Amino acid sequence: MKHLVLNLTLLFIGCLYCAAQSPATEIEKLKLILKEKSKLDAQKQRRIDFLKASLEYKALDLKDQYLINLKLYNEYKSFQYDKAFHYANQLQRISNQLKDPTKIAYAKLKTGFILLSSGMFKETFDTLRTLKINQLPDSVKREYYLLNARTYYDLADFDQDDYYSKIYQSNASLYVDSALKLCEISSFDYAYYSGLKLIKAGDLEHAMLKLNSLIHSHRLSEHQYAITASTLSDIYIQYHQNQVAINLLIKASVADIKSSTKEAAAMLNLAQLLHKRNKTEDAYLLIKAAMDDAVYYGARQRKVQVSAILPVIASARILHEQQQKQMLFFYCALLTILSITIIVFASIIYKQLKRIKAAEKLVLEANATLINTIEKLNEAEKIKEEYIGYYLQIISDYLNKMEKIKSSITQRLTTKKFDEIKILVGNINLKKEREELFSNFDKAFLKLFPNFITEFNAMFPVEHQVRLLPAQLLNTDLRIFALIRLGVNDPDKLARILEYSLNTIYNYRTRIKNKSNNPDGFEAAILSIKAI
């Protein structure tokens, strides 16, 4: 009975989430806040610059320097690894000069935290082992226990080993217990780490209730909210309530952006969930943002995690665009066939009309004895005119229908309902479509190979290097070898894709290769150009 009530409660909470927020609306909010990302980061940078300027005052004593360096560390710890590591070292240097055991221990904890954030488990443990906490105040002990707990939990998740992960989780739970004894029951740390311990112990139901209570009954900072929502989303994923998890991860991502947190996994997890739901464009946008954050922060572990999924989502996005182009080409071909059919029938009708007029002229010049024949021809003419009018009405109706379908397609393209498109209407400029296809290919290729042009030019003397126009992404020379880099090496296929003759393709390849610094190894060098 107890479990039934608990399950109903969890189901009710999940339903509330889904009912309260529209996924599409929440995604749009996230996209808007992503556009403000640089401004929010600039605000944080101004705070940092002010603190750095404060360090320039010569009158500062060591205690003041310690406090300012601590503030700089806190600004950087989830923003930039190398800067945070620098200020953690500064804290150790100043605390050693002060010969204050508490500050020395606290500085080492900060170093340990930033090492863990970068995925350096061994270095984190080495740092923590140097601490002797018996004589330290409770606040430092609590942070020491929580950092040990997080290190063991992260190591267990990283190893994913049936034997060692259980040992690490057991160690982490002991440290959590020690930390909770030193936490106020009403504090964020007490509520969050109690819920985290329940998750690791497999008691997802009570963990969900505790974390939901934390989100709704506490005033949390943006960073605290992001951590809690992201952790809670993992539980909903395990319960296969992915929509609730998506809503939580969107909110966590927004909170991370607002707090300029670069060391976070919310956007990475959100991109993976959206990718599973075939939301390719949104997933690609978020995985790119997650990679930008990981690179900016300098977290080795996070970069590895994002790099593992980025190519998968990028490939799905390219495939999605190709499918759209194929569908566009299909409807274009269908429209062309219909247009040709109309032209053929119009030509037939026009020729018939000319014949009728010629026959009418002959009848009018005929003998009075042919009056009966003339009347029949006039009747036939009227029939033909009615037929022309009928057919013109069909053409008119068809054009009106095409206009409505065109409007309908435009609306569905805007809402991305591609499967509802039945007929493509309007005058299609195949040359323009092919140029757009090349432009989209260029953009997609340069996103995968951003250094392609630079490395391509490096294979030539300066006088033979490619010079692109201001708005040009790739020219024909680059595009040929971009396709070769993607594995399209068959001259016939290259000729068909680029709409050149086979001889032209051979001439392009030979001419460009001969201008390079190493003609014999040129194409091998092209194939060795690395993607992101």
Q: What is the pLDDT of residues 140-153, one digit of tens each?
A: 999 999 999 999 98
User: Which of 90-99, 228-237, 399-408, 411-420 is the least confident region?
Assistant: 399-408
Decide which of 277 and 96 is more confident. Answer: 96
**Rounded mean pLDDT of 385-411?**
51
Centre a 10 Å sphere on the Cβ of residue 13 and count the other Cβ atoms it contains: 17
Which one, of 255, 321, 337, 253, lies nearest residue 287 by Cα? 253
Tracing tokens 């393709």 back to the chain, one arrives at 505
Instruction: Indicate if the pLDDT at residue 383 is higher than 50.
Output: no
Identify which has the larger pLDDT, 232 or 419.
Answer: 232
For residue 363, is pLDDT > 50?
Answer: yes
Residues 6+ apart with CB under 8 A from 77: 84, 110, 113, 114, 117, 263
The predicted-structure confidence for 400-427, as pLDDT tens digits, reads as follows 555 665 676 677 677 665 566 655 545 4
pLDDT at 74 over 60: yes
Give dist(CA 477, CA 515) in Å, integer: 12
Q: Which residues contact 373 (CB under 8 A, 6 or more apart)?
A: 363, 366
Q: How confident is the model at residue 325 (pLDDT cuts 50, 70, 90)?
A: low
What residues contact 416, with CB distance under 8 A and at least 6 apart? none
Most confidently predicted of 11-15, 108-112, 321-325: 108-112
With a cut of 50, say whether residue 376 has pLDDT above it.
Answer: no
Candidate from 89-98, 175-184, 365-374 with smallest mean pLDDT: 365-374
The total number of residues written for the chain in this structure: 532
pLDDT of residue 398: 43
DSSP string spanning 249-284? HHHHHHHHHHTT--S--HHHHHHHHHHHTT-HHHHH
The answer, yes or no, to whether residue 34 has pLDDT greater than 50, is: yes
Residue 235, pLDDT score: 92
Rounded to 5°, angle at Cα 285 from 446 and 14: 160
Distances (CA, A) of 428 to 138, 275, 456, 498, 500: 74, 32, 35, 19, 21
Nearest CA among 399, 424, 233 for reference residue 326:
424
CA distances from 14 to 203, 235, 237, 273 (A): 17, 11, 11, 17
Q: Give the residue-averaged pLDDT of 475-494.
A: 86
Distance CA 71, CA 283 (A): 35
Residue with tokens 């290190």: 151
**Mean pLDDT value across residues 276-294:** 83
Q: Which of 398, 400, 406 has the alpha carbon at shortest distance from 343?
A: 398
**Distance between CA 521 and CA 515 in Å, rounded?**
12
- Give the separation between CA 439 and CA 429, rounded to whole angstroms: 15
Q: What is the mean pLDDT of residues 35-46?
A: 90
Three-class secondary structure of residue 425 per DSSP: coil
**pLDDT tens figures, 160-185:** 888 998 899 999 999 999 999 999 99
Identify which has the larger pLDDT, 382 or 56: 56
% of the chain at pLDDT higher than 90: 26
CA distance to 35, 59, 90, 94, 226, per residue, from 56 (Å): 34, 9, 15, 15, 34
Residues 414, 406: Cα–Cα separation, whole Å: 12
